[in-house]
Amino acid sequence: MATVVQAIRLALHVGEQRLGVTDVFGQDVGPPLGGVFTQSQGLQTAWNSPLDERGIVGTAIGLALAGQRPVAEIQFCDYAFNMIDLLKLAGGICWSSAGDWNCPMVLMTPVGSGIRGSIYHSHSFDAQATRIAGWKIVMPSNPLDAYGLMLSAIADPNPVMFLAPKALMRSKALANERIPGEPDDERLLSKMIDAPLGDRSRWRPDWPDVRDFFVPIGKARICREGRHVSLVTYGRTVPIAVQAADQLAAEGIETEVIDLRSLSPYDWDTVKQSVRKTNRVLYLNEDTDVTNFGEHLLRRTIEELFYELYAPPRLLAGAHVPGIGLADALERASVPQLEHVAAALRELARHEV
């Protein structure tokens, strides 16, 4: 079964074969490395750019306005903060031209902690991304969603930011999350599309005949049904949420876990229906807890569902610190862990009106 990074690579291949992708580029995106996470190995349209984030985004905007369909990569989201003005420019093109101009570009970048990346390779970017109007923002938590969201991002006529959780890049699909058409044998898939170590100059991938599968941007996924408390999350914290819900089920607490998958637009209808069922909600992510995207969801919950709540809605997020420490203990103290999620759910579920 494919990993998240293999799913992204397969989607990019489908994009250049069937959806009109003309360029996949960024630092070390082309041969011989094929991306720092190997997500662009073997692609026909992949090429290496200078180490210049503003240049990468500016080039993508220019290509898109010239009728091309680029997929640009910022190697780590930690280096995206110096190009906010260009992201605002790209997001405003369709709106400011009254729909006369589109900007069909995808910007993909790895986000979050979990790889012991320390201060310059562990940032989140979801709060910053959702503040930039005009962009669609997606973040997968499993290989099938990574594949389907990337295809939807490529097909969209305007800019889409594809945030890929670093810690999940090598995670494998569950049995019900297989990409349509991928080989049954994961070793065969690796042999077909993973470049060998050493000299790659003569290597060519043998792409499997995967089929189109589009995950609609703006549609959440219910990972686990529950009736006592709702847990709304996305990205790296989705597997943690499911694990915590399974743990609490043994205590008689049934948690409904929702994977938003898309932060802009987001599926408020699914969230609202779940909160109305459970009357309790925990919002979970690993970005810093000051001006967090979860705070927006919490505010909307209070405004629209206040009289249906049995307990104050909660946000569990990362510590408001300048960066993530390199030591394992420091990283674990900076972002929510399984025990924190379980404790927050337990407290919410037992809160009496």
Catalytic residues: 121
Which residues contact residue 152 at a Cβ distance below 8 angstroms, ignoring those fewer than 6 apart? 138, 160, 214, 215, 216, 217
